[in-house]
Structure 1
Amino acid sequence: MTGPAVATGRWDVVVVGGGVAGLLVAWEAAAAGRRTLLLEAGSRLGGAVTAHRVGGLAVDAGADSYALTRPAVTLLIADLALDDAVVAPNPVGAWVRHRAGAAPLPANGLLGIPSRPWTADVRRVIGLAGAARASLDRVLPAGTAMGPRATLGSAVRGRLGSRVLERLVRPVAGGVYSADPSTLEMDTVTPGLRAAVAGTGSLSAGAGRIRGAAGRSGSAVAGLHGGMNTLTDALTRAATAAGAELRTGAAVRAVRRDAAGWVVDLGSTTIAAAAVVLAVPGGTADGLLAGLVPDEARAGVAAASTPVRLATLVVRAPELHRAPRGTGVLVAPGVTGVRAKALTHATAKWSWLAERAGSGVHVLRLSYGRDEGQCSAGSGGPDLPDPADLPALALADAADLLGVPLRPGQVLDTAVVTWESVLPAPRVGQRAAVARLRAALAALGPEHPLAVTGTFVAGTGLAATVADARETARRLLDPTPAVDAPGPAADQVDTRPAG
């Protein structure tokens, strides 16, 4: 019995994983003159930044926007000559649905943290008592609730009170991370916030400093005409034009070291490489790294990830033209009668999509899946509906959240997609765990580097992913430390309504 065939030639760089992070590293490596191969196990590239067709429309099946609070994606778009395709969402903003009612999300929030707790739009959500409690944040010592093991939830509760946590931060964090904010490591999900609190003296002022002078909540993002999936198309074209070879349907089983560098094992064949970059989900990376770095260096890096199920509805409903809930609704845990954690009114959010859909036709996207700490059913697992129950459940939820009757006869088409591992929820210790892993990888030596990138080390959101991938590529191509290189955690997560 013979062993697997060895592919002819030797690659300078092999990238495992064809999401945005992997495509970006492959492009930069090829553009630098390195013989580059990208291997993607699935049938298509882009990861969660991809499209599907619903009702004759090509719409985003995953991420539909990117955060403007940091420049990483903006700079990438410029490098790809996509500047003219950048579009702003409808400035009416999104709403929040909590146990006591529904209201527009306040302006200038950061992951739901209000920068000015006493403004009318904040009081409308948390009430006078909640605003009074939140105002204590300005007089508390800067270190209160900001210890080294602070979570997003503990910091908010300790400084701003339970109403801000339950009615603002929980629904926003649920939409972005599908996670309970009381489990999320603050320094990972809100990088720079600790320093901003130390500099301003309060959590609300620190959030305002990071958020900047953006408008209504949801307006600190942008998108691309045609959807964020066009970013994947542009990266694919750029990487191919630079000389990278991109292969789909190529599942990597193992990575081994040999005297000449690395051997990437696909089962039926092996590929020799001078350098390897793993741009895959945390669980996959953990398996490939077993035996290459000490177990203690891998511990805690592959953060838990709650599966998310998205139901997209295309409906003929002229009554939705007035966008009764703005660009969408975030739903707080514990709201009865609704299982969705978020709804995006996509045709209200993006004018280009409304034009393509035509008069009276609307695209609604509902997101399902909370971690066990937020499950209203108390089942001890993700609150994820069976696909067979969708889209009927989604239609009922949409009617409830939008306050507009919607009948099955109005539905023109539907689509359901499940994302298993695109929203890692960084627990306390995640940032230190990533640092340990990267130190262990660096100890393997610079001659034949092995690197990791992607959401499991960068954090959720395109801004964080792109920043980390570019820094990974820079270190791969020039291992000399850069004095002013930004860290991968410098980018803020995307607070889009649909998670």
Structure 2
Amino acid sequence: MHTIDTVVIGGGVSGLIYARERALKGDQVLVVEAQDNVGGAVWSHTLQGIETNTGAEAFAIGRDAMLGLVKDLGLKDRMVAPATGSSFIVGDDRAYASPRNAVFGMPAKPLAKDVREALGFWGAVRAWRERFVPAKRATGDDVTVAEFVRARYGKAVLERLVTPIIRGVHSADPEKLELRAVMPRLAERVQELGSARKAIEEILDQRGVRSSSGSAVHSLTPSMAELPKALARDIEAHGGRIFTHTPVLGLRASSEDRTWIITAATQAAAFTREFKARTLVIATGPEFARHLLSAPAPDIADLIPVAPATPVRLATLVLDNPELNAKPRGNGVLVDPAATTIRAKAMTHASAKWEHIHRAAEASKPGRNVVRLSYNPDADGSLPDAERFPELAIHDAAAIFGLQASDLTVADWALTDWTGTMRQSGPGHTAALKALAEALETQTRGADAPLPHLELTGAWRAGNGLEAITRFTRELASR
């Protein structure tokens, strides 16, 4: 059996980035993907001739990982900024702008007008008093986002700003989400600088971007699907291969020649095939990684932390409502978790936010708009029934826009479910990742290691968001 330098299991963005980096270094690379296309949660669909994103719609700016990758892939001329810089938080009876000088809703300028409008006078005063909170308060290793914000900024900042953002953008519960998992150095910088306000100000200065939540991003035209397509083209241009419809069934390690043997199904399903690799990269969710490694590497499998995934249901509506061209809710909305009249957790007015989608919608029919609503599970853990759509999405979109459901004219709609993309990293997750990294170093690297070379990547290890995934995976592949 021929030995391949690097086999990557999983053709999502993290797997493609790793494969491309190794192909550029001259490795013979193979990517095996179970689905019929690469890209994972970064893909698109077309409604009424309008290409829109089925998953990630943008990537964060102010740092250099994704910007660098986009340029390296020759996609710089496809990179676009939002057409408007505003976003709103909407509840049952009020709507307010998300403050500009903030990170995850934590304000650097608590007495600014937009913060006062969001929190009220006394809520803003309590946030301003953060400067007097002892630097070490709520900065321990396992502190959650909610514990940190409540202790330092107060209840109003947590409930009115941070929770809608964490819930709407990251599909997570701040009461359970480890602070270090989303902002690894914030607690440390608070201790060094003396206050969270100073640490947030430092982050904003480093990013060079001061925008409301959801606007400090860029996207690609005609959709973010251009990213995995370009990665795949580059891999194949440098001699790599990509097999879709090829689910991996099992692994075993060969001690004789220090290789991994990967058993995979074929598209015909009745047959299997095997690949031999000097380096194995598992770029899947943590549950499947644990499953694959449970027999050949049980000690490593047991160390993989399974950060729970929050399923998300996305509802895209194409609306023939020219009055929405006035952008009544800016580029999008986060919904107050306390709201009882709106079931969605967030809505993006895609044709208001992105000029290229607006042009495509206008070309399809003048006055046409595109919105996308996202839904998290109910208290019982279930997503709203698919049978409730599109009526539920129409109701929620109308409520957010301040209209009646009967006011909206739906030309087309689609549902997309993502079950394993948004990970909630609870207390202890960072420490667990450190233990895993140490085990990979001692057990799979070097001539005396008991196992062949193994790497693990994905959002569960790198962090949510394309910026975090890109930075982590490129560094990992460069070793």
Q: TM-score, normalised by structure 1?
A: 0.89
State whether structure 2 residue 418 is matched by structure 1 residue 419. Answer: yes
Post-superposition offset of 1:387: 1.2
Instruction: Give SS of 2:228's match.
Output: helix
Please give the alpha-carbon distance, in whole angstroms, between the structure 2 residues aligned to 1:297 and 1:431. 16
Please give the alpha-carbon distance, in whole angstroms, between the structure 2 residues aligned to 1:98 and 1:313. 21
Q: 1:55 to 1:204 in 2, by over 3 A?
A: farther
Percent identity (aligned): 39
Post-superposition offset of 1:30: 1.3
State whether structure 2 residue 353 is matched by structure 1 residue 364. Answer: no
Q: 1:210 to 1:298 in 2, by over 3 A?
A: farther
Please give the alpha-carbon distance, in whole angstroms, between the structure 2 residues aligned to 1:85 and 1:429. 39
* Among candidates 237, 240, 252, match of residue 256 of structure 1: 252
Indicate the residue corresponding to 2:226 in structure 1.
230
Post-superposition offset of 1:141: 1.2
State whether structure 2 residue 461 is matched by structure 1 residue 450. Answer: no
Instruction: Give SS of 1:435's match.
Output: helix
Indicate the residue corresponding to 1:126 in structure 2.
119
The amino acid of 1:327's aligned partner reads: N
State whether structure 2 residue 56 is matched by structure 1 residue 63. Answer: yes
Q: In the alignment, is the contact (CA less than 8 A) between 2:59 and 2:218 conserved in 1? A: yes
* Among candidates 77, 94, 98, match of residue 101 of structure 1: 94
Q: In the alignment, is the contact (CA less than 8 A) between 1:326 and 1:345 conserved in 2? A: yes
Greater mean deviation of Cα atoms: 447-456 or 215-224: 215-224
Post-superposition offset of 1:181: 0.5
The 5-angstrom pairing of residues 293-332 of structure 1 reads: 293-295=297-299, 298-299=302-303, 301-332=305-336
Please give the alpha-carbon distance, in whole angstroms, between the structure 2 residues aligned to 1:103 and 1:334. 15
TM-superposition CA deviations, 1:234-291 (whole Å, max 9, x none) = 1111111111100101111112101221101115122111110000011111111213
* Among candidates 20, 30, 46, match of residue 27 of structure 1: 20
Post-superposition offset of 1:31: 1.5
The 5-angstrom pairing of residues 213-228 of structure 1 reads: 213-217=208-212, 218-228=214-224
Post-superposition offset of 1:186: 0.5
Q: In the alignment, is the contact (CA less than 8 A) between 1:196 and 1:210 conserved in 2? A: no
Q: In the alignment, is the contact (CA less than 8 A) between 2:249 and 2:264 conserved in 1? A: yes
Indicate the residue corresponding to 1:490 in structure 2.
none
Q: In the alignment, is the contact (CA less than 8 A) between 1:395 and 1:408 conserved in 2? A: no
Indicate the residue corresponding to 1:403 in structure 2.
402
Indicate the residue corresponding to 1:465 in structure 2.
469
Indicate the residue corresponding to 1:146 in structure 2.
139
Please give the alpha-carbon distance, in whole angstroms, between the structure 1 residues aligned to 2:282 and 2:431. 19
Greater mean deviation of Cα atoms: 99-108 or 307-316: 99-108
Please give the alpha-carbon distance, in whole angstroms, between the structure 2 residues aligned to 1:200 and 1:404. 47
Please give the alpha-carbon distance, in whole angstroms, between the structure 2 residues aligned to 1:85 and 1:192. 32
The amino acid of 2:52's aligned partner reads: V
Q: In the alignment, is the contact (CA less than 8 A) between 1:300 and 1:430 conserved in 2? A: no
Post-superposition offset of 1:298: 3.0
Please give the alpha-carbon distance, in whole angstroms, between the structure 1 residues aligned to 2:342 and 2:466. 28
Q: In the alignment, is the contact (CA less than 8 A) between 1:14 and 1:39 conserved in 2? A: yes
Indicate the residue corresponding to 1:74 in structure 2.
67
The 5-angstrom pairing of residues 473-492 of structure 1 reads: 473-475=477-479
Indicate the residue corresponding to 1:349 in structure 2.
353
**CA RMSD, aligned part only?**
1.6
Q: In the alignment, is the contact (CA less than 8 A) between 1:91 and 1:216 conserved in 2? A: no
The amino acid of 2:262's aligned partner reads: V
Q: In the alignment, is the contact (CA less than 8 A) between 1:317 and 1:360 conserved in 2? A: yes
State whether structure 2 residue 291 is matched by structure 1 residue 282. Answer: no
The number of equivalent residue pairs is 460
Please give the alpha-carbon distance, in whole angstroms, between the structure 2 residues aligned to 1:154 and 1:292. 40
Please give the alpha-carbon distance, in whole angstroms, between the structure 2 residues aligned to 1:421 and 1:172. 20
TM-superposition CA deviations, 1:394-427 (whole Å, max 9, x none) = 0110000111334387111101000010101111
Post-superposition offset of 1:449: 0.9
Q: 1:412 to 1:440 in 2, by over 3 A?
A: same
Post-superposition offset of 1:133: 1.0
Instruction: Give SS of 1:443's match.
Output: helix
TM-superposition CA deviations, 1:140-178 (whole Å, max 9, x none) = 111111122211110000000111101111110012221
Please give the alpha-carbon distance, in whole angstroms, between the structure 1 residues aligned to 2:240 and 2:333. 41
Greater mean deviation of Cα atoms: 187-196 or 302-311: 187-196
Q: In the alignment, is the contact (CA less than 8 A) between 1:152 and 1:182 conserved in 2? A: yes
Unaligned runs of 5+ in 2: 266-271
The 5-angstrom pairing of residues 184-223 of structure 1 reads: 184-212=177-205, 213-217=208-212, 218-223=214-219
Greater mean deviation of Cα atoms: 333-342 or 402-411: 402-411
Greater mean deviation of Cα atoms: 142-151 or 453-462: 142-151
TM-superposition CA deviations, 1:186-221 (whole Å, max 9, x none) = 111112212331233211221221133423313321
Greater mean deviation of Cα atoms: 309-318 or 465-474: 465-474
Instruction: Give SS of 1:420's match.
Output: strand
Greater mean deviation of Cα atoms: 48-57 or 360-369: 48-57
Please give the alpha-carbon distance, in whole angstroms, between the structure 1 residues aligned to 2:174 and 2:302. 24
TM-superposition CA deviations, 1:365-400 (whole Å, max 9, x none) = 000015xxxx4xx43x24x11111111100110000
Please give the alpha-carbon distance, in whole angstroms, between the structure 1 residues aligned to 2:149 and 2:288. 33
Greater mean deviation of Cα atoms: 202-211 or 177-186: 202-211
Q: In the alignment, is the contact (CA less than 8 A) between 2:320 and 2:369 conserved in 1? A: yes
Please give the alpha-carbon distance, in whole angstroms, between the structure 2 residues aligned to 1:23 and 1:85. 19
Indicate the residue corresponding to 2:171 in structure 1.
178
Q: 1:209 to 1:98 in 2, by over 3 A?
A: farther
Q: In the alignment, is the contact (CA less than 8 A) between 2:102 and 2:210 conserved in 1? A: no
Post-superposition offset of 1:22: 0.5
Q: In the alignment, is the contact (CA less than 8 A) between 1:118 and 1:135 conserved in 2? A: yes
The amino acid of 2:329's aligned partner reads: R
Instruction: Give SS of 2:7's match.
Output: strand
Please give the alpha-carbon distance, in whole angstroms, between the structure 1 residues aligned to 2:181 and 2:154. 21
Please give the alpha-carbon distance, in whole angstroms, between the structure 2 residues aligned to 1:445 and 1:277. 12
Q: In the alignment, is the contact (CA less than 8 A) between 1:193 and 1:206 conserved in 2? A: yes
The amino acid of 2:348's aligned partner reads: T
Post-superposition offset of 1:35: 1.0
The amino acid of 1:205's aligned partner reads: K
Post-superposition offset of 1:297: 6.2
Post-superposition offset of 1:348: 0.6
Instruction: Give SS of 2:40's match.
Output: coil
